[in-house]
């Protein structure tokens, strides 16, 4: 599955049309996305969402089943607020259409779950639009242990595979091991890592990374940051400083700010997301370790309660185990 698309060349002659927009995914890419998404939600599908199969096997759907349906959604970590919103919408459509058949109720539930995931907006991320002049800057934030550094490596691998030149910035100077870990991943992926000594100013690392990207005409910059506990206000202020330094170098950057959440932490991730968004304006979520939880419903809570799109999902431990998030694929895999 392609992640990155090069910015179309500017028209060469007056009146010349710019390059056409990126193509739609090929059937092979669609098949790959379907397989990866299915693998990522397998535990959730077998667990809480697996109970939906038995629920909808009954020919008719009566009022006694609504509570059970709500219990299933909440158990999968959609959260009470999101589960209530989805079911209220389904109930209204069931009443309006006079629906009795379980198969039709299932289809209405599918449509409303997809709609919840699409509510944050369907604008593609900057790396997929091809409308950002290089270097495209991605700031990555998240708490320790969420899978942030591994996610960065997977992203760099995917972008490089698609033909982009990538530079990583090791702005997590709080822990020496974090810089070393990013360097190791950089060597494995085959991309340059800009780093300073442990304890150095993270803003300086970000500045030097952007300077290196400009001088080498790199396509994409991914900047790692310290795995801040969201309760540490001084560390959040430092993160804001990194963001300001990036903007001084390029007022339009960072073009994306991604928060990596450990999907296994469930509803606790919502608190993290609210805090990070308040600090640096998160534009999207990466759900790491989604394949390791039976509560993948957290994706619906993120979209509905935070208004943030999920951009990537972790589908395993291999370098290629990162997939673009697709609402239709996600819901259909859960309900399969």
User: What are the chain's domains?
Assistant: 126-282 (3.40.50.300)
Report which of 74, 66, 78, 80 is spatially closest to residue 116, judged by C-alpha positions. 78
Is 225 annotated as contributing to ligand binding? yes
Is 228 annotated as contributing to ligand binding? yes
User: Which of 23-27, 152-156, 171-175 has the weakest average pLDDT?
Assistant: 23-27
Is 316 annotated as contributing to ligand binding? no
Residue 286 has pLDDT above 90, yes or no: yes
- The pLDDT, as a whole number, for residue 221 is 98
Residues 118/327, Cβ–Cβ less than 8 Å? yes
Mean pLDDT along residues 313-329: 91
Residues 61/105, Cβ–Cβ less than 8 Å? yes
Is 284 annotated as contributing to ligand binding? no
Beta strands at 256-262 and 322-324: parallel, antiparallel or unpaired? unpaired
Mean pLDDT along residues 165-174: 94
- The pLDDT, as a whole number, for residue 270 is 83
Is 146 annotated as contributing to ligand binding? yes
The tens digit of pLDDT for each residue in 75-112 reads 888 989 999 999 999 999 999 999 888 889 999 999 99
Q: How far apart are CA 69 and CA 56, in angstroms?
A: 10
Q: How far apart are CA 207 and CA 227, in angstroms?
A: 19
Is 294 annotated as contributing to ligand binding? no
The mean pLDDT value of the chain amounts to: 87
Residues 312/3, Cβ–Cβ less than 8 Å? no
Of all residues in the chain, what percent carry a pLDDT higher than 90?
A: 52
Mean pLDDT along residues 282-310: 90
Q: Is the pTM of this model over 0.85?
A: yes
Is 143 annotated as contributing to ligand binding? yes
Residue 22 has pLDDT above 60, yes or no: no
**Residue 313 pairs with which residues in a beta bridge?**
287, 323
Classify residue 88 as exposed, middle or buried by CB count within 10 Å of its CB (0-12, 13-18, 19+): exposed
Is 149 annotated as contributing to ligand binding? yes
**φ, ψ at 228 (rounded to 5°):** -70, 135
Is 268 annotated as contributing to ligand binding? no
Q: How far apart are CA 105 and CA 163, in angstroms?
A: 45
């Amino acid at each position: 599955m392609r992640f990155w698309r090069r910015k179309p060349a500017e028209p060469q002659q007056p009146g010349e049309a710019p390059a056409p927009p990126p193509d739609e995914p090929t059937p092979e890419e669609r098949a790959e996305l379907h397989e990866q998404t299915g693998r990522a939600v397998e535990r959730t599908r077998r667990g809480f969402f697996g109970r939906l199969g038995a629920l909808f096997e009954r020919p008719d759907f009566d009022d006694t089943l609504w509570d059970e349906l709500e219990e299933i959604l909440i158990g999968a970590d959609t959260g009470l607020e999101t589960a209530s919103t989805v079911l209220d919408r389904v109930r209204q459509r069931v009443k309006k259409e006079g629906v009795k058949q379980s198969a039709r109720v299932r289809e209405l539930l599918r449509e409303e779950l997809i709609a919840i995931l699409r509510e944050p907006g369907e604008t593609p991320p900057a790396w997929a639009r091809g409308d950002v002049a290089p270097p495209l800057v991605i700031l990555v934030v998240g708490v320790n242990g969420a899978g942030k550094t591994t996610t960065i490596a997977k992203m760099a691998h995917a972008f490089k595979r698609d033909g982009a030149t990538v530079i990583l910035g090791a702005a997590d100077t709080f822990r020496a091991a974090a810089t070393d870990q990013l360097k190791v991943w950089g060597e494995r992926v085959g991309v340059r890592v800009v780093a300073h000594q442990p304890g150095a100013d993270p803003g300086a690392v970000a500045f030097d990374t952007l300077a290196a990207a400009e001088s080498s005409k790199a396509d994409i910059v991914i900047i790692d940051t310290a795995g801040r506990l969201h309760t540490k206000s001084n560390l959040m202020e430092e993160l804001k400083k990194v963001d300001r330094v990036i903007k001084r170098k390029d007022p339009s950057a960072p073009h994306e700010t991604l928060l990596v959440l450990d999907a296994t932490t469930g509803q606790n991730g919502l608190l993290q997301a609210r805090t990070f968004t308040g600090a640096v304006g998160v534009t999207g979520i990466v759900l790491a370790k989604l394949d390791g939880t039976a509560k993948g419903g957290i994706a619906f809570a993120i979209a509905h309660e935070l208004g943030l799109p999920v951009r990537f999902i972790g589908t395993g431990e291999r370098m290629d185990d990162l997939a673009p998030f697709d609402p239709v694929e996600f819901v259909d895999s859960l309900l399969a």
